[in-house]
Copies of this chain bind each other. A is one copy, B any other.
Amino acid sequence: MANLDPIEYEQASSTVRAVYDDIMATRKTDWVNNFWKVLAHHPDNLQRLWNNIKQVMGNGALDPLTKELIYVAVSITNNCSYCIASHSASARAKGMSEEQFGELMAVIGLANETNRLAVGYGVPIDEAFLPK
């Protein structure tokens, strides 16, 4: 752990406050989660990452809930406790039901199993899956 304390709004520079303000306005909430408050120790990282998240996670060809499910799948596969907690919470806030969560977990678990089997058996890619 890098052991950097979260930087609260009151302590923050104006550059950092501007990002916090944008996070709260975009999310229509009145608080900022610790991920951003720790990143704030390096304002360049804070701004760059927030710009990326804002651009990628909004509505598009995929709806925001589907994007959160994908985020949770990656976070579990990478074993990131913070990310699992925060994106599971976001997914629930965006409507994920308990039944959907159960199916999400089942797919993640099984994909991790078959991934290793395909690699371990060295399965050759089928013609039908190659580009034409």
Question: A residues within 8 Å of B by Cβ?
Answer: 1-6, 31, 33-35, 38-39, 41-42, 44-45, 48-49, 52-53, 55-57, 60-62, 66-67, 69-89, 97-126, 128-131
Contact = CB atoms under 8 A, between A and B. Distances in A.
B115 A75 contact: yes
A83 B120 CA distance: 10
Contacts of A126: 33-34, 85-86
Contacts of A100: 61-62
Contacts of A35: 114, 117-118, 123
B1 A56 contact: no
Nearest to A132: B3
A6 B124 contact: yes
Given A69-B70, A85-B129, A116-B76, A107 B56 contact: yes
